[in-house]
A and B are shown apart, each in its own frame.
Chain A
Amino acid sequence: AQKVTQAQTEISVVEKEDVTLDCVYETRDTTYYLFWYKQPPSGELVFLIRRNSFDEQNEISGRYSWNFQKSTSSFNFTITASQVVDSAVYFCALSGYLKLTFGKGITLSVRP
C-alpha cells in the first residue's frame, strides 16, 4: 500500500524566514514519481514539481528547492526568504498505478 506522511500540520513564519516542509512516503514500487502541489486560499491546486524515483538530484527553482532522499524516503520542500504570497496549504503526493496518493497537507502561514 502507498502512503504519504506530512507530519507537520501547520507552520507559521515571519516573512523572509526560510521554511522546510517535510514529506515522507512509503511504496513498494521501484518506479514512481513524487509531486508537490500548492493550494492557495482561492482553492485550486497548483502543480509545483514532479520528481522521478531514479533522479535524486536536488532541484532549485527561484526561492523553491526540493531535496529528494531515497535512503530515507523523503522529498522535502524548502522555501527561501518566504513571502506572504507563499501562504497556502502544500500537498505532497506519490504516484501509483493510475492514481496519486496525497498527504494530508501542511498549512503554511507567512506573517508580514
Chain B
Amino acid sequence: EADIYQTPRYLVIGTGKKITLECSQTMGHDKMYWYQQDPGMELHLIHYSYGVNSTEKGDLSSESTVSRIRTEHFPLTLESARPSHTSQYLCASSRSGWVAGNTDTQYFGPGTRLTVL
C-alpha cells in the first residue's frame, strides 16, 4: 500500500497568485513525478525527479517549477496562476532501479484540483 499525500485537495484561486502544491511520500522512494490531467482526459507528465537535487521536465511543457530538497518532498510551484492552469495535478512516486524482480510501479496521491478564476 502506498503512502503518498497531496495538499490541498481542492484550490480555487485568483489570477496572478503564487501557489505551491505539496506532495510528500513516506516510502523512501527515489523517483517522484507530477502529472497534469484535465477532467476525463489522459495524463501528461510535466516534471519528474530521480532523487534529491534532481529535477527534469516531462513530456508536456509547463510553466510550473519543482524542487527536490528532501527525498520525501516534491512541491510544485506556479509563480503566477492563470485560468489556463486550471486542471488536476497528480503526484506519484516509485522505487528506483531495474533490479531483477523489481518494477517501476508508480503510486499516486489523491490529486489536487486547481481552479484559477
Contacts and interface: CB of A to CB of B under 8 A. Distances in A.
Nearest to B56: A98
Given A43-B88, A43-B110, A44-B111, A33 B42 contact: no
Nearest to A102: B43
Contacts of B43: 45, 91, 102
Interface residues of B, number: 25
A74 B108 CA distance: 24
Nearest to A46: B108
Contact of B105 (A31, A50, A91): A50
Contacts of A104: 41-42
Range class of the A interface residue count? 20 to 34
Most buried by B among A33, A42, A45: A45
Majority DSSP secondary structure for residues of B touching A = loop
A42 B110 contact: yes
Interface of A: 31, 33, 35, 37, 42-47, 50, 52, 89, 91, 95, 98-100, 102-105, 107
Contacts of A107: 40
Interface string B60-92: 000000000000000000000000000010101
B45 interface: yes
Nearest to B92: A45
